A and B are shown apart, each in its own frame.
Chain A
Amino acid sequence: MRLTTYETFLAVFCALALLSTVATGVGQWAAHRTMDPARSARLAVLNSRARASWSVLLIFTIAFALGKWALLVVFAGASYFALREFLSLTPIKSSDYWGLVFAFYFVIPAQYVLLGLGRASVFATFIPVYVFLLLPVIVAIRQDNERFLERIAKVQWGLMISVYCISHAPAIATLPIRGYEGRGPLLLLFFLLVLFFTDVLQIVFSAALDGRSLKSNPNKTVRGLLAGGAGGALIGTGLWWMTPFAWWQALIMSLVIVSTGFLGSVVLSAVKQSLGARQWDSEVVFTRGVLERLDAMTFAAPLFWQITRYFWVIRTDI
């Protein structure tokens, strides 16, 4: 028996709502009982994730109910806030003004409109080729060549991470996979669930198993990372029925998501520290921001999209 997209989503939604309720309850209960400061810090992170899962659920329910364009608007919003955070930490001169106006008011909408129109080849080359060439032109016209390369390189990096990479997540839902028509949003849901559960499990296992904390993220330990990654991959395998993959393919794809997600968070943590070392406390907007929440997704989404597109859309002969 095959469920329709709607039924599958409903089933997943109920399961998630149940899980969030349990997690919120248990998390609150545990936070009241523990005395150990390190443990309670990890629990606080976990509780914030449980709360975040509620807002994510809400946003996705709305987006799935309203269709493709609503989904694109949600992710365009995420790109906007991520880019704003990224550029706020970058030293910018007033001669970069038109370059930034171009980035915010033209590149973000254009990228998502291209995606919405289904122009996959233009969508995948727009920022790395066309914007890459056009942006330095706009800035160079001002004839302010002081640290020119540094300035445009940082804006381009911000666009790549927060617009190009993030826009690949909704692109997963639009892949034209044969025999999977109309069920694209479920593949996106699969991708996001693997990322989300990997993150949660890694924090849970890091709190349970002691060991050395990671340099890039003090909430996770090496052993917790491996155990959580394995758990995330297993959950992904168990969700094979909502994807176009066979169970072993779902296992491989989950491993791809888990490992690229981890690499993404390592790289973005390095970027963050090199940009914002001056203001590195918990009050800073950056740390409670979108970019930190989406760090794993920025690397996993384009790779997952490319691999799925190559093996399930282009090379359907193998």
Chain B
Amino acid sequence: MWLTRLLVGAYPRWTGAAPTAAQRIYFGNHSSHMDTVVLWAALPQELRSNTRPVAAKDYWDRPGIRGIIARNELNVVMVDRSRDDPNADPLDPLRDALEHGFSLIIFPEGTRSAQPLPGPFKSGLYHLAREFPQVELIPVYIENLHRSMPKGAFLPVPLICTVRFGAPVALKPDEAKETFLERARADVIRLAG
């Protein structure tokens, strides 16, 4: 936590929403493994305790320091990307967390992109927006992190990263999945501006 601050700063800038205790889904661009920690560190302390990052089980759920950070510090919601069991819906753990009143941090690209701007979003965000209309969807853009820690690097270079929070996006009635996802993505890109 303090190590993240020391290395990359993780300075928050709330441009479209205020940091309140409302239940939220923060969704952002994914360019490095540190995104999760950086976004989480940028939140005010009182929000951190009921905000849970969503992360891939195959990366985070391992013995050793990574698993300890994921479970004890971040309280991560693990998502199974491998889909061993075809009947299990990977979104179920997310629904469960939302029903218990937690806010979530998700990266709807599903994987890390080497570009500063996010690639196409996966549909999970849409399903959650439809099933939980009362939860605010906040677009987030994390600046600079793709330069601080390029894919494959193990040691982050200290560069200041700013985390920008935008205005909430709401799913319109009868809005098509593709339109909504594209609109959500455009909101993240606009924050990069």
Q: Please report A residues at the B interface, Cβ cutoff 8 Å.
A: 80, 83-85, 87-88, 92-94, 97, 100-101, 104-105, 283, 285
**Which residues from 58 to 98 on chain B have a C-beta closer than 8 Å to any C-beta of chain A?**
none
Task: Tell me whether A84 and B147 are in contact (CB under 8 A).
Answer: no
Task: Tell me whether B150 and A88 are in contact (CB under 8 A).
Answer: no
Q: Which one, B47-55, B128-136, B155-163, is touching chain A?
A: B155-163
Chain B nearest CB: distance from A255 CB in Å?
Answer: 36
**Which listed residue, A93, A97, A104, A285, touches B158 by the CB 8 Å rule?**
A104
* Further 13 A-B residue pairs, CB within 8 A, beyond A85-B160, A94-B114, A105-B155: A80-B158, A83-B158, A88-B159, A92-B147, A93-B147, A94-B150, A97-B157, A101-B155, A101-B157, A283-B13, A285-B11, A285-B160, A285-B162
Contact A104-B160, Cβ < 8 Å, known A92-B147, A283-B13: no
The 3 closest A-B pairs by CB, nearest first: A94-B150, A88-B160, A100-B157
Residue of B nearest to A94 (CB): B150
Q: How far is B144's CA from A89's CA once the two chains are assembled, in angstroms?
A: 10
Task: Tell me whether A88 and B144 are in contact (CB under 8 A).
Answer: yes
B153 at the interface (CB under 8 A from A): yes
B124 at the interface (CB under 8 A from A): no
Task: Tell me whether A104 and B157 are in contact (CB under 8 A).
Answer: yes
B168 at the interface (CB under 8 A from A): no
Chain A nearest CB: distance from B29 CB in Å?
Answer: 16
Q: Please report B residues at the A interface, Cβ cutoff 8 Å.
A: 9, 11, 13, 114, 144, 146-147, 150, 153, 155, 157-160, 162
Residues of A within 8 A of B160 (CB): 84-85, 88, 285
Interface CB pairs A-B, < 8 A, 26 = A80-B158, A84-B9, A84-B160, A85-B160, A87-B157, A87-B159, A88-B144, A88-B159, A88-B160, A92-B147, A93-B147, A94-B114, A94-B146, A94-B147, A94-B150, A97-B150, A97-B153, A97-B157, A101-B155, A101-B157, A104-B157, A283-B13, A285-B9, A285-B11, A285-B160, A285-B162
Q: How far is B6's CA from A89's CA once the two chains are assembled, in angstroms?
A: 17
